[in-house]
Structures are given as structure tokens and as C-alpha cells.
Amino acid sequence: MKKLIFVAFVLLVIFACDEENSPVKVQYRVSDAYAETHISYQNESGSLESETINFQSAEDTWNYSFEAKHGDIVYISAQYADTASSVNISILLDGKVYKEKYSESEPGKIITVSGTIPF
């Protein structure tokens, strides 16, 4: 019995203390746009999704959040057609800005931010 208790205790100590590879909260944010903007982003399952967002004012923001692992690829791109528009795209990891890019008066250009979630 003593042996069993010892084994159980050591097992608990050894394996319960294992640090999990904690997930990272990823947030894509698109802001500072004034007109229709086409967005592509990599979602939590690794697929590329596309949406067209009609921004009405500079206060409008578009957000998409999911949980990912360290080392996962994160990617978002934006493209607008209106010469008077602009766009700010950013990737936040656990609430902190990881990558960010601003574009103004570049209609038709695909603006991308991307990277791998640091280990």
C-alpha cells in the first residue's frame, strides 16, 4: 500500500507540474477604413477566408478572434478600391499588437500583415 501511495504521489508531482503549451488569443483587427474593403485572413483551422466589409466611418472596426498555438501562422490582408479610403490592419496576440500596417491612398494594393506566433 505504501508503495502504491508513493507511486501515485511521485506520478502526480512529475506529470501534474508539466507546463501546458498555453493557447494564445489571436485577434485580427481592421480599422481606419471609410469604404468597402476586401479582407482575407487565415482562421483557426488554417483555412483562408475572405469577406467584403462595407465600412461606413472611421470608427467602424472589424474584429475576428480565435485561439491558436505558439508557432501557428497568422495572416490577414486587406484591399480597397476607393482612392479616398485607407485601412489599418493589425494582429494582436493576447491583447498586444504583434504586427500592424497602415495604408492610405493605395487603391487596389493588397496590404498584408503576417507572421508565426512566437514560441
Using CB under 8 A as the binding rule, whether residue 9 contacts other proteins is answered as yes
Using CB under 8 A as the binding rule, whether residue 81 contacts other proteins is answered as no
Distance between first and last Cα of the chain: 43
* Residues of span 48-77 touching other proteins by CB under 8 A: 48, 71, 73, 75, 77
Using CB under 8 A as the binding rule, whether residue 115 contacts other proteins is answered as yes
In the numeric block, which cell numbers belong to residue 111? 496590404
> From edge to edge, which strands make up the β-sheet containing 36-42?
48-54, 36-42, 73-80, 111-116
- Residues of the shown chain interacting with other proteins in the complex, contacts defined by CB under 8 A: 3, 6-7, 9-11, 13-15, 17-18, 40, 42, 48, 71, 73, 75, 77, 110, 112, 114-116, 119
